[in-house]
Amino acid sequence: MRNVITARRRSHILVAVAALTLGVTGTGIAQASPAAAGCPTAEIFASNNTAIITDPADPRLKTRLTRFDHVVRAIIQAHGARPGASKLLDGVFWSGDLKQASYERSREFDVNKVGRDGLHHIAGVIAKQYHQESVLTFRCLPQASSEADAVEIQVPGVNRTRLHDTLLADPEARDELGGGSVTLDGRLILIAPLADLPSAQKFTAELGVDWNKAELRYGDEEFVS
């Protein structure tokens, strides 16, 4: 996720993840559906890509990142945590510096039996090994937790092409949300600060998906260099 970091540090990023938990209440946002139980302790979103890819037909976007999956899971285990499921993602990210969108293949890794410091350390090892400017982590937390500063949103019915075209057509989404990803079965995911839920909901509406079908989980996000 090298090409997203500058924009994300200024604002926010959309990322693809697995099933989410809890609903939005008391924020002025339309109620989303409660998510299924089973939120992992944490998630890591990472890629081995350092190139800017502008062609959606680029063969690098067809990789399944199999070796990357094995190595990252080994890193997680070697540093005292327990690796869970890993999911392949298709992403579209906006570079404010280059004024263009870039495609990227990445993976989301479930991580269990890990604390805040351990998660930070693991993400730092991955970032260094794969020359990433930053690796995104998300710790699942109760909505009422004082550490919960972000929300993870999943909603079905989006493909990479629609994500790309809608992002390019919306300057606000490009600048504030930075980009996004979808799982291979077409689930759009957004991770955004709690204060920016209105922007996230607006973007999902532009994508033509039903917010009432969205699933949410709360937690703490961090970009680790």
Angle subtended at Cα 172 by Cα 168 and Cα 175, rounded to the nearest 5 degrees: 80
The rounded Cα 9 to chain-centroid distance in angstroms is: 14
C-alpha to C-alpha distance for 67 and 56, rounded to whole angstroms: 22
- Mean pLDDT throughout 200-221? 93
Q: What are phi and psi of 38, to 5 degrees?
A: 105, 20
In this prediction, residue 76 carries a pLDDT of 98
In this prediction, residue 34 carries a pLDDT of 47
Q: Which amino acid is at 197?
A: L
In this prediction, residue 12 carries a pLDDT of 43
User: pLDDT grade, residue 193 (50/70/90)?
Assistant: confident
Pairing mode, strands 100-112 and 82-95:
antiparallel
C-alpha distance across the termini of the chain, in Å: 11
In this prediction, residue 73 carries a pLDDT of 98
| 182-192 pLDDT, tens digit each | 999 999 988 88
In this prediction, residue 23 carries a pLDDT of 40
**Which of 28-32, 88-92, 123-127 is least confident?**
28-32
In this prediction, residue 18 carries a pLDDT of 33
In this prediction, residue 26 carries a pLDDT of 39
In this prediction, residue 1 carries a pLDDT of 57
| 35-46 pLDDT, tens digit each | 445 689 999 999
22 burial type by CB count under 10 A (0-12 exposed, 13-18 middle, 19+ buried)? buried
pLDDT above 80: residue 117: yes
22 neighbors 143 (Cβ within 8 angstroms) = yes
The DSSP secondary structure of the chain, one letter per residue, reads -GGGHHHHHHS-B----S-------SSSSPPPBPPPS---SEEEEE-S--S-B--TT-GGGG---HHHHHHHHHHHHHTT-EEEEEEEEEEEEEETTTTEEEEEEEEEEEEES--HHHHHHHHHHHHHHTT-S-EEEEEE--TT-TT--EEEEEEE---HHHHHHHHHH-HHHHHHH-EEEEETT-EEEEEEEGGGHHHHHHHHHHTT--GGG-EEEEEEEEEE-
pLDDT > 70: percent of the chain? 83
Q: What are phi and psi of 35, to 5 degrees?
A: -90, 165
User: pLDDT grade, residue 148 (50/70/90)?
Assistant: very high
